[in-house]
Amino acid sequence: MKVLVTGGGGFIGSNLVEALLRRGDDVRVIDNFATGRRENLAEAESWAAEGGGHYELLEGDIRDPETVRRAVEGCDVVLHQAAIPSVARSVADPLTSHGVNVDGTLNLLLAARDLGVKRFVAASSSSLYGESPTLPKVETMCPDPISPYGLDKLAAETYCRLFHRLYGLGTVALRYFNVFGPRQDPSSEYSAVIPKFTAALLAGRAPTIYGDGGQTRDFTYIENVVRANLLAAEAPEEACGEAYNIACGERISLLDLVERLGRITGREIAPVHGDPRPGDIRHSLADIGKARRLLGYEPVVTLDEGLERTVAWYRREHA
């Protein structure tokens, strides 16, 4: 199988690329490295050189239709991970966020339709649920995003559903809930909380929580997300045209997260608190029953095991 991974230089994308090559698939990556990093692909390149599947890198921007057509041509499956992946960044710059997350997705869908792609799996987000107090979040709930990023993902997901209905393209949207794990960059002001907390604790600094820390999240280890993508790429036709929550189905507060990471790192340092950030959701928890039924998805790595693995990786890489 030949697979295009968009955003393959990113945290999620690079883990997907490596998993595909390990099982012998041919992989093409497109990335403009605006947020992804070339070094994230070093292990994938080594694996391909040692006898894994064929690997190819196309440096380019998914906002350019001609570049996208070159990337999609000859591929059986598209795993679409490319995005400006930040609520805070979308609040600061909604136009760029829309251009990549919506226009880029539409370019890919058009190319996939025209070039005979069999399956198009798109990374969506729990952020499109918004601030509904109902928990857990179920796919039948009415979306109500409170950030440009959440709106972008809703628009992209809706395009996927329409392309399935209008053109017969086999689309699947995966609503990720707070993905974490190795290769997640802690250095940006827009970084996710687990890499930022981990980096701070390992350096002996107090982690910063925006708000009171009572906000809760359904954190999802990267291996579970990779598995969900591989299942979606091969799921039966009846699974297409749908969106699925991808998570573990459990939630913890940010205060609890800091405490757990403190125990794992051996650096139990009390957090400092900043002002809440606009666009941030207070509580998040997934119902994963639909993904279980139609994709065969089951989380294989628990939160605690994922945190242990993540801290071990940061110790090795940032020692």
Q: Which helix (H) or strand (E) holds 57?
A: strand 55-59
Q: How much is the CA Rg of the chain, to the nearest whole Å?
A: 19
User: How many other CB atoms are found less than 10 A from the CB of residue 205?
Assistant: 13
- Name the residue among 83, 130, 118 with its Cα closest to residue 240: 118
Distance CA 104, CA 59 (A): 15
Determine the Cα–Cα distance for residues 306 and 221; give it in Å rounded to an integer: 6
- d(CA 299, CA 305) in angstroms, rounded, equals 12
| Domain 2-180+221-249+286-300, CATH | 3.40.50.720
Residues identified as active-site: 149
Q: Which amino acid is at 203?
A: A
| Sign for the pseudo-dihedral over CA of 40, 89, 129, 250 | positive
Instruction: Please tell me the pTM assigned to this model.
Output: 0.94
- Taking alpha carbons only, the member of 6, 9, 69, 68 closest to residue 33 is 9
Per-residue pLDDT of the chain (319 residues; tens, 9 = 90+): 999 999 999 999 999 999 999 999 999 999 999 999 999 998 877 766 776 679 999 999 999 999 999 999 999 999 999 999 888 899 999 999 999 999 999 999 999 999 999 999 999 999 999 988 899 999 999 999 999 999 999 999 999 999 999 999 999 999 999 999 999 988 766 568 999 999 999 999 999 999 999 999 999 999 999 999 999 999 999 999 999 999 999 999 999 999 999 999 999 999 999 999 888 889 999 999 999 999 999 999 999 999 999 999 999 987 6
Query: Distances in Å between the alpha carbon of 151 and those of 94, 120, 148, 279?
Result: 10, 20, 5, 11
